[in-house]
Structure 1
Amino acid sequence: MSEKEGRVPPGGALAHRVPDLGALELLLAVARLGSLGAAARELGITQPAASSRVRSMERQLGVALVDRSPRGSRLTDAGALVTDWARRIVEAAEAFDVGAQALRDRRDSRLRVTASMTIAEYLLPGWLLALRAQRPDTAVSLHAGNSTVVAERLLADQADLGFVEGVSVPAGLDSAVIAHDRLIVVTAPAHPWARRSRPLKSAELAATPLILREEGSGTRQVLDAALGGLARPLIELSSTTAVKAAAVSGAGPAVLSELAVGEELATRRLVLIPVEGVTLARDLRAVWPTGHRPVGPARELLSLTRG
Structure 2
Amino acid sequence: MPDIGSLELLVAVVRTGSISGGARETGVTQQAASARLRAVERQLGLSLFHRSPSGTQPTLEGEVVASWADDVLAAAGRFRAATRTLRGESTARLTVAASQTVSAHMLPLWLVGLRRRQVDAGHTPTAVQLLSGNSTDAEMRVRDGRADLAFIESSEVPADLGTTTVGQDELVIVIAPEHVWGQSGPIAFEVAAAEPLVAREQGSGTRRAWEDEVRRRLGRDAAEPAVVLPTSAAVRSAVANGLGAAVMSRREAADDIRLGRLRAVRLVGDPVTRPITALWRGSPRDLSAVGRELIEVAVATARAEAARRSPRAR
Interval containing the TM-score (normalised by the shorter chain)? 0.5 to 0.7
Aligned 1:236-251 pairs, distance under 5 A: 236-251=228-243
Residues 210-269 of structure 1, C-alpha deviation per residue, up to 9 Å, x if partnerless?
Answer: 111111111111110111222221221222222122222222111101111222222221
Task: Tell me how far 1:164 sits from its aligned partner.
Answer: 1.0
Task: Tell me how far 1:166 sits from its aligned partner.
Answer: 1.0
Residue 298 (str. 1) matches residue 285 (str. 2): no
From 205, 213, 224, the counterpart of 1:218: 205
User: Do the aligned partners of 2:90 and 2:288 also contact (CA within 8 Å) in 1?
Assistant: no
Aligned 1:1-307 pairs, distance under 5 A: 103-133=86-116, 134=118, 137-196=125-184, 198-228=185-215, 229-277=221-269, 279-291=271-283, 292-307=285-300
Task: Tell me how far 1:169 sits from its aligned partner.
Answer: 1.2
Task: Tell me how far 1:100 sits from its aligned partner.
Answer: 6.5
Task: Tell me how far 1:103 sits from its aligned partner.
Answer: 2.8
Residues 157-208 of structure 1, C-alpha deviation per residue, up to 9 Å, x if partnerless?
Answer: 1111110111121131121111111100010101111111x32122221221
**What letter corresponds to residue 244 of structure 2 in structure 1?**
G
Task: Tell me how far 1:155 sits from its aligned partner.
Answer: 1.0
Residues 105-163 of structure 1, C-alpha deviation per residue, up to 9 Å, x if partnerless?
Answer: 22322110001111111000111122234265532111112221111111111111110
Find the residue that maps to 1:272 and give its secondary structure: strand
Task: Tell me how far 1:102 sits from its aligned partner.
Answer: 6.2
* C-alpha separation in 1, matches of 2:141 and 2:274: 22
* C-alpha separation in 2, matches of 1:187 and 1:223: 16
Q: Among all aligned residue pairs of Structure 1 and Structure 2, give the percentage whose two residues are the same amino acid.
A: 35
Q: Which position in structure 2 is the counterpart of 1:38?
A: none
Find the residue that maps to 2:163 and give its secondary structure: strand
* C-alpha separation in 1, matches of 2:153 and 2:228: 18
Q: How many residues align?
A: 208
Find the residue that maps to 1:203 and give its secondary structure: helix
* C-alpha separation in 1, matches of 2:85 and 2:298: 28
Q: Aligned in 2, Cα 1:289/1:271: closer, same or farther, shift over 3 Å?
A: same
User: Do the aligned partners of 1:211 and 1:233 also contact (CA within 8 Å) in 2?
Assistant: yes
Find the residue that maps to 2:280 and give its secondary structure: strand
Which portions of structure 1, spanning 4 or more consecutive aligned residues, are displaced by more than 4 angstroms?
Answer: 99-102
Task: Tell me how far 1:297 sits from its aligned partner.
Answer: 2.2
Q: Which position in structure 2 is the counterpart of 1:40?
A: none
**What letter corresponds to residue 212 of structure 1 in structure 2?**
A
Task: Tell me how far 1:104 sits from its aligned partner.
Answer: 4.9
* C-alpha separation in 1, matches of 2:169 and 2:132: 18
Q: Aligned in 2, Cα 1:103/1:194: closer, same or farther, shift over 3 Å?
A: same
* C-alpha separation in 2, matches of 1:237 and 1:172: 29
User: Do the aligned partners of 2:98 and 2:131 also contact (CA within 8 Å) in 1?
Assistant: yes
Unaligned 5+ runs, structure 1: 1-98
User: Do the aligned partners of 2:100 and 2:232 also contact (CA within 8 Å) in 1?
Assistant: yes
* C-alpha separation in 1, matches of 2:165 and 2:286: 14
Find the residue that maps to 1:178 and give its secondary structure: strand
Unaligned 5+ runs, structure 2: 1-81, 216-220, 301-314
**What letter corresponds to residue 203 of structure 1 in structure 2?**
E
Pair member with larger Rg: 1
Q: Aligned in 2, Cα 1:290/1:191: closer, same or farther, shift over 3 Å?
A: same
CA RMSD, Structure 1 to Structure 2 (Å): 2.1
User: Do the aligned partners of 2:97 and 2:151 also contact (CA within 8 Å) in 1?
Assistant: yes
